[in-house]
Amino acid sequence: MTYQLVTNAPGTSALFNHRLDNEPGLGGFSLEFLNSDHHVGSLRVGGVTSDREGRVAGWRDFLLGFNDHDAGISGSESDPVRMTAKYFRMGPLPTFTVSGTGTASGSGLARIPRLRSDEIVVLRGFEIAARGDNHHIRSVGVRYLRWRDAFSVNFNDDSPADDSFSFSIHYFVLIHASRTGRRRNPHFEGPVQQTFRFTESTTMLKRLPGVALLSGFSFRFRDSDHHLRKIAVDLEPVDSLSVTFTDDDRNHPVDCFVDYVLARPYIF
């Protein structure tokens, strides 16, 4: 069964914190400025809180955040945002976290322990934050690279020297049913990768239908860096998936990757 969090949060540091009663596997998210497109300061979906020493204070906390750093001429400008997360209750599974940094001209890479051949990764959430000033956007992405034993994270613009970013990725490790011969309820298959090009938003058929958990994503404007109005991935429909990556011009082509893991049976 899919659960959904929706919030409208005003302010340039909009952050929504919700306490869950089970570990959430990410099935989709939407982060949107309601007044215009913006420089972007941070994106947080399914993040966790920590104490002053950086230790995790609550794995059951689910954070949503989308903000810029612009206080406006008056110093008190508020940028209303709409934030949504779709998730599945995963049960008492351990959540792993890896963190790192990257630059505007390249990907950030964070290695994780090598997975067995029957193990697959799905996202619990991610947190990406620009260091320093506001951030134009050329590409945003979080993807697990099995051949590198690492997560690759993009948060890039076309100015290689003026921005850097930090990130944390929260993930689960699941067992691939067909590679072990063991049947679980539910059992997991994948990951499935779909690659496509679109402008503003699109909906398409899944390569394999079913209930899906997000394993990774990547968006890249083809023409230049931009202010950003909305970024979204929705895997909830059994037969289709939807994505959005746009500014207010709504006419810029985007290259996209979406990686997902299927759960069988369809509903759990």
50 beta partners? 56
pLDDT in tens, 135-184: 788 999 999 999 999 999 999 888 766 678 899 999 999 887 654 455 55
Under a CB-based contact definition with an 8 Å cutoff, are residues 152 and 143 in contact? yes
Q: Angle at CA 152, nearest 5°, toward 89 and 176? A: 45
Distance CA 135, CA 129 (A): 9
Low-confidence ranges of the chain (pLDDT < 70): 1-21, 48-60, 69-78, 104-105, 132-134, 160-162, 177-186, 265-268
Under a CB-based contact definition with an 8 Å cutoff, are residues 178 and 117 in contact?
no
